[in-house]
Amino acid sequence: MRQVVLFIAMSLDGYIAKEDDNIDFLNQVERPGEDYGYAAFQTTVDTLIWGRRTYDKIQSMNLPEFMHKDKKCYVLSRTQTGQDENVEFYGGDPKDLISSLKQQPGKNIYCDGGGQVVAALLQENLIDKLIVSIIPHLLGSGIRLFQDGRPEQNLVLTRSNTFPSGLVQLWYDCVKPAD
């Protein structure tokens, strides 16, 4: 069965970006030849879910090529509809999208934020695994990865990795409530 996996980085104090969507703090752990397992993780997924602000941030980076051409990409948006050359915009209930995707054959489904998307998926208990890379930096304020108001949820630590850069990566399975 396909799983929804959050693979994301945050500051030690829980932020994924500054208020202005600046993510420059992530650069402090860049090391030649080190991708923190990202390439290996990418082989396990064939579908991607982003929020519109995250997609807009990626687009603003002016990368030479869209980084996920080999995947089906959905952008959750209340305002944009249709599709562009890279993604399909989805304005419906995320629960319906996830349910539909899980019924289709394929690899896992990669969620890469942002905060509102993570909150919406956690609210409905739709995330199966969390892979959170903690950057050794205190941002002080910004966009929180885990927003208030979500239901309580048990997690099981399945793996932890430490790296010379100071980055710590935590892998958790989400415990689903009994029906």
pLDDT of residue 124: 93
pLDDT of residue 140: 97
Q: Is residue 179 one of the residues assigned to a domain?
A: no
What percent of the chain lies above the pLDDT cut of 90?
A: 80
Residue 97, domain CATH: 3.40.430.10
Query: In which domain, by residue range, is 162 found?
Result: 4-125+134-174
Which of 4, 104, 89 has its CA nearest to residue 55?
89
Write the pLDDT tens digit of every residue in 73-94. 999 999 989 999 899 999 999 9
Residues 6+ apart with CB under 8 A from 53: 21, 114, 116
Q: Is residue 52 one of the residues assigned to a domain?
A: yes
Write the pLDDT tens digit of every residue in 32-66. 999 999 999 999 999 999 999 888 888 888 888 88
Write the pLDDT tens digit of every residue in 112-126. 888 999 999 999 999
Query: Per-residue confidence at 138, pLDDT binned at 50, 70, 90?
Result: very high
The model's pTM: 0.93
Examine the pLDDT at 179 and tell me if it is beyond 70. no
User: Comparing 31 with 150, which gets the higher pLDDT?
Assistant: 31
pLDDT of residue 20: 92
Q: What is the mean pLDDT of residues 16-26?
A: 94
Q: Is residue 22 one of the residues assigned to a domain?
A: yes
Examine the pLDDT at 178 and tell me if it is beyond 80. no
Q: How many domains does the chain have?
A: 1
**3-class DSSP string for the chain:** CCCEEEEEEEECCCEEECCCCCCHHHHHHCECCECCCHHHHHCCEEEEEEEHHHHHHHHHCCCCCCCCCCCEEEEECCCCCCECCCCEEECCCHHHHHHHHHHCCCCEEEECCCHHHHHHHHHCCCCCEEEEEEECCCCCCCEECCCCCCCCCCEEEEEEEECCCCCEEEEEEECCCCC
Q: What is the mean pLDDT of residues 16-39?
A: 95
Q: Is residue 164 one of the residues assigned to a domain?
A: yes
Chain mean pLDDT for the chain: 94
